[in-house]
Amino acid sequence: PLVLGIESSCDETGVGVVSGTRLLANAVSSSMDEHVRFGGVIPEIASRAHLDAMLPTLRAALDTAGVGLADVDAIAVTSGPGLSGALMVGVSAAKALALATGKPLYAVNHLVAHVGVGLLDGETSDSAAGSENENPLPENLGALLVSGGHTEILRVRSIASDVELLGATLDDAAGEAYDKVARILGLAYPGGPAIDAAAADGDPRAFAFPRGLTAPKYLGSTEAPGSHRYDFSFSGLKTAVARVVEGFTARGETVPVADVAASFQEAVADVITRKAVLACREHGITSLLLGGGVAANSRLRALTAQRCAEAGIELTVPPLRLCTDNGAMVAALGAQLVAAGVAPSGTGFGADSSQPVSEISLA
Ligand code: ATP
Ligand code: MG
Ligand code: FE
Q: Is the CB of 14 under 6 A from ligand 1?
A: no
Q: Is the CB of 9 under 6 A from ligand 1?
A: yes
pLDDT score, position 123: 66
DSSP letters spanning 184-225: HTTPPSSHHHHHHHHHTTS-TTSS----TT-SGGGSS-TTST
Residue of 294, 301, 317 to test ligand 1 pocket, by largest number of atoms within 8 Å of CB: 294
Amino acid at 287: S
Find the helix or strand (DSSP H, E) in which 284 lies.
Answer: none
C-alpha distances (whole Å) from 146 to each of 154, 170, 235 are 11, 14, 16
Instruction: State how beta strands 22-30 and 287-291 pair.
Output: unpaired
Whole-number average pLDDT of the chain: 94
- The complex scores an ipTM of 0.96
Q: Is the CB of 325 under 6 A from ligand 1?
A: yes
pLDDT one-digit tens code per residue, 314-358: 999 999 999 999 999 999 999 999 999 999 999 999 999 999 999
C-alpha distances (whole Å) from 64 to each of 59, 60, 68, 311, 313 are 9, 6, 11, 41, 36
Cα(182) to centroid(ligand 3), Å: 21
pLDDT score, position 217: 85
Q: Is the CB of 198 under 6 A from ligand 1?
A: no
pLDDT score, position 131: 42
pLDDT one-digit tens code per residue, 33-62: 999 999 899 999 999 999 999 999 999 999
pLDDT score, position 137: 63
Amino acid at 334: G
Cα(325) to centroid(ligand 2), Å: 6
Question: Along the chain (363 residues), what's the average pLDDT of each consecutive run of 10 residues?
Answer: 98 97 97 93 97 98 98 98 98 98 98 94 54 56 95 96 96 96 95 96 98 89 79 97 98 98 98 97 95 94 98 95 96 97 96 97 95
Find out whether 332 and 339 touch, Cβ atoms under 8 Å. Answer: no
pLDDT score, position 125: 52
